[in-house]
Structure 1
């Protein structure tokens, strides 16, 4: 959907006009509302991969039960819109093929919204109809997420049957969902629920993991390609139908003179206001394909020969040297052209770690505040490949070199990481295949909103979110505007951003969000609070 589609003209959520719901244009117009309701750019500091200028309430013990929350209400607004289309669209005197195309869009978005809810809250009320003030479903209790998931898989298979292929969507309709979008979402849902069940004591892990493999495999047969230049994925050069890596995006506009919506993401990144932690830098491989730290941020006994002990680092850049090229595409090096000039390590301009984010920073978007038009990537083919590899391993306890070559090793080759992942390499170097698959996911999808849900489903949050968060190595010759007396440094002169003594994660409750109090009240108590939230 390009700017010429006038996506800024959306109908109201409720359609009462008796002349509506008759034509294909009506259904299309109604479906446009779903695209407008998609989440845009946000600064996600819930994990251990980055910090922004505010402290993470999840891991500092200040997370409390809200009265209301958009995390709950916004997905239900999308669900209402989708159900409205599915119910009222039936009256349209159109062929079944046309109606089913837009019903497929509605079912996709309904699945997308319900996944957001069950990812955060677990069991939630499951509605397939619209409600009014007298609807008995207002007092509906929470539906088991396994039951919801079963319907989501069915809806996404329906969407696969009735949506067009991505290649057949006209350029003017770029951004509308396709068969690939539906099955990629099925893969994402299956992987999350399958691994969550596996590591949190559930009983249906295999069923979900098979859905993840099936959905991802389907997309891998649709002719998608990785964009050759990783760095161009996140600016205007990577936009449009010629880039088949982008499977689902929220469209903002062509440029500052042709805008549907606008955002301020590049300005938000300025001067390291969203900054990678050293904890996460430790997860990047060295140029020889070997790590120094495991997924719990513990220094490995057998590690890369390129590793330099943190106390011995001679400069700010040394920890960034000889690494997976994606590290250099994600954070700025000292002396590299950045925001208003070259990046110089400091904590005085906004970065709490003294690192500054490169990935997603876009000069045209940055030049005028509030005028960013780079599209928000919601699903890309790289994620599908990672979902496939992880689901295959979790399902079977192993993965073939052939499957690694058509997934993870494609991602490495794209950025010039010349060491492939193979079973022999893992065995020879005493690595864990599962950890290396997860590591690849962390690195490829850094700062794209995956780290927190990943450590939740892997049941690693209770470890990752209670560790000291570290920043850059202080070196007086590299840094400017920093008084060492005002810096909290460890024995290796590494910046302590948040000490573990201040960080909290209660595994008895924090793996799920608290249900907003108003939702419990509005349900007449039928919706109950998540365990141990008081």
Structure 2
């Protein structure tokens, strides 16, 4: 159990806010600090940097709702084509970037060593890189400014900066962070360090490298090389490993319901939660509305012989939920709620278990098991103290494997070092490059078999961790959304339907193959290439005509 004397990173911003309210904000304008009274010493630098620690989102149970992995009850407006151009907002806000620039223009005046000042500049540049990258992901070309602006700044009316230029500044910030942040052994607990910076750099560079590659843009290989080098640095640090207790049937799901991730070697960076100080609502939200995997996602999970369902003789079909889970990758039953899944472990030793899939409350019948604790204490609204990942080592291994494969350098040794380390946790057969056979049902028919299987491994291992839509964008793979199986659920045969109370299943419609139809008015979604970017808000474009033209298709 955590000791309540430990303050989590999530609370640091609150501590800063409370201190400043009395000492500064009562006397000074709310939108800026006083140059005369701040940035005096190391403590000031630390307090200012604390405000950025909540910018990187922790991985949560609804992370893949807007993708081909999940089927929410209400259609995702963006993928449904009903998203409208906002008048203002819509993500086109620059507060965090301005606050980072404000710090970087003033931190040098603090009475502290050059090393200390560079460390906190590294922290702020790390977060500035992250926020600007997310702007590029969302909008493409965005206006870059390297100083804190005011109402008279001419940059407020500047045109958008080409995305390639913005990403060059992002990489410079990341490289500065890597060079100036301490190694974990020398870093303050719960603050970012060199490994975290390298892991984030690997994530961002993989995104940029593949984005460029699949659009024929210059510089793709250079970015992929940066991704591989950064990931390799994390691997070679020797600080991390795939979590396992030697229980393949439980270790994957148990990883995401831990009270304490400090000391867990898979946690490159985690958000810590402490009773009565910083808590969250994830477990309760899952209990209220369980996320529902799509048929397409479920069919992407391999059989336990390492072969896809279209090739494996061990696949039993999907006529019943019990058959469908039989002989599958052990992550199947750790991701998807199936018979005998423990919903609640009661204090008296008894357990509430699943018998039939929960429908229609679970729209597809494939309820998510990830992040779902059986401990009723964690079900209390806004009282969960389970730690959540910001960056975990499995992602870094997958980045390394994918970047090396994209570069044509993924040897068997690299696959053993990455993919097969992840598979060992659940007792899956190793990926052997020479033995790979192209899946006849592949969602990427034109892709080489090795990259295809690395993408599959990423989809399964990182399910629900808020990567899937970003992956679809960077691979320029929006057409995956057109697949009818991305919006249907399990097979509800007449025999299975008869096992439910008639009133419970009376309104459930199925397609020609008896798969549950979630959206009964459409057979499939239709991807529009304009969805690769979000639109800029109308009001901002009217105030600054140089932001035009609007993003394509909007």
Superposition TM-score, scaled by structure 1 size: 0.89
8 A contact 1:345–1:479 mirrored in 2: no
8 A contact 1:165–1:179 mirrored in 2: yes
- Cα distance between partner residues in 1 of 2:419 and 2:394: 9
2:216 to 181, 201, 204: 201
* Other-structure match for 2:349: none
- Cα distance between partner residues in 2 of 1:532 and 1:505: 12
When residues 13 and 436 of structure 1 are mapped into structure 2, their CA distance, relative to the original with a 3 A threshold, is: farther
* Other-structure match for 1:296: none
How many pairs were matched up?
A: 507
Long gaps (5+) in structure 1: 293-299
* Other-structure match for 2:431: 421
- Cα distance between partner residues in 2 of 1:428 and 1:124: 40
Cα deviation 1:30-59 (Å, max 9, x = unaligned): 111001344354724110101233211122
- Structure 1 position 247 matched with structure 2 position 268: yes
- Cα distance between partner residues in 2 of 1:154 and 1:317: 52
Q: CA RMSD in A?
A: 2.4
- Structure 1 position 405 matched with structure 2 position 416: yes
8 A contact 1:131–1:137 mirrored in 2: yes
* Other-structure match for 2:398: 386
* Other-structure match for 1:165: 183
- Structure 1 position 305 matched with structure 2 position 313: yes
2:96 to 71, 78, 100: 78
* Other-structure match for 2:198: 183
Residue 132 of structure 1, CA deviation: 0.8
* Other-structure match for 2:453: 436
When residues 120 and 467 of structure 1 are mapped into structure 2, their CA distance, relative to the original with a 3 A threshold, is: farther
8 A contact 1:426–1:432 mirrored in 2: yes
- Cα distance between partner residues in 2 of 1:285 and 1:169: 40
When residues 199 and 482 of structure 1 are mapped into structure 2, their CA distance, relative to the original with a 3 A threshold, is: farther
1:331 to 330, 336, 339: 336
* Other-structure match for 2:231: 216
Residue 494 of structure 1, CA deviation: 1.6
8 A contact 2:401–2:419 mirrored in 1: yes
Q: What is the SS of the residue equivalent to 2:490?
A: strand
Residue 428 of structure 1, CA deviation: 9.5
Q: Comparing 461-470 with 28-37, which one deviates more in the overlay? A: 461-470
* Other-structure match for 1:231: 253
* Other-structure match for 1:520: 541
Residue 118 of structure 1, CA deviation: 1.1
* Other-structure match for 2:152: 134
- Cα distance between partner residues in 2 of 1:481 and 1:178: 57
Residue 471 of structure 1, CA deviation: 0.8
When residues 460 and 332 of structure 1 are mapped into structure 2, their CA distance, relative to the original with a 3 A threshold, is: same
Q: Comparing 376-385 with 470-479, which one deviates more in the overlay? A: 470-479
* Other-structure match for 1:59: 79
* Other-structure match for 1:297: none
When residues 230 and 494 of structure 1 are mapped into structure 2, their CA distance, relative to the original with a 3 A threshold, is: same
Residue 478 of structure 1, CA deviation: 4.9
Cα deviation 1:281-336 (Å, max 9, x = unaligned): 111110000002xxxxxxx4xx11122344xx2x2232122111112111111332
When residues 428 and 202 of structure 1 are mapped into structure 2, their CA distance, relative to the original with a 3 A threshold, is: closer
Residue 17 of structure 1, CA deviation: 6.3
Q: What is the SS of the residue equivalent to 1:378?
A: strand
* Other-structure match for 1:459: 476
* Other-structure match for 1:10: 16
- Cα distance between partner residues in 1 of 2:142 and 2:255: 35
When residues 465 and 57 of structure 1 are mapped into structure 2, their CA distance, relative to the original with a 3 A threshold, is: farther
When residues 208 and 316 of structure 1 are mapped into structure 2, their CA distance, relative to the original with a 3 A threshold, is: same
1:291 to 308, 328, 331: 308
When residues 205 and 479 of structure 1 are mapped into structure 2, their CA distance, relative to the original with a 3 A threshold, is: farther
8 A contact 2:142–2:161 mirrored in 1: yes
1:318 to 308, 318, 323: 323
1:352 to 358, 363, 383: 363
- Cα distance between partner residues in 2 of 1:97 and 1:280: 48
When residues 87 and 64 of structure 1 are mapped into structure 2, their CA distance, relative to the original with a 3 A threshold, is: same
- Cα distance between partner residues in 1 of 2:367 and 2:289: 4
Long gaps (5+) in structure 2: 18-29, 245-250, 346-351, 441-447
Q: What is the SS of the residue equivalent to 1:275?
A: coil
8 A contact 2:8–2:271 mirrored in 1: no
Cα deviation 1:311-370 (Å, max 9, x = unaligned): xx2x2232122111112111111332115932332324x321122211111235642112
- Cα distance between partner residues in 2 of 1:415 and 1:346: 26
Q: Comparing 483-492 with 199-208, which one deviates more in the overlay? A: 483-492
When residues 365 and 207 of structure 1 are mapped into structure 2, their CA distance, relative to the original with a 3 A threshold, is: farther
Superposition TM-score, scaled by structure 2 size: 0.86
- Cα distance between partner residues in 2 of 1:513 and 1:268: 28
* Other-structure match for 2:25: none
- Cα distance between partner residues in 1 of 2:144 and 2:344: 46
When residues 385 and 94 of structure 1 are mapped into structure 2, their CA distance, relative to the original with a 3 A threshold, is: same
8 A contact 2:56–2:390 mirrored in 1: no
When residues 71 and 304 of structure 1 are mapped into structure 2, their CA distance, relative to the original with a 3 A threshold, is: farther
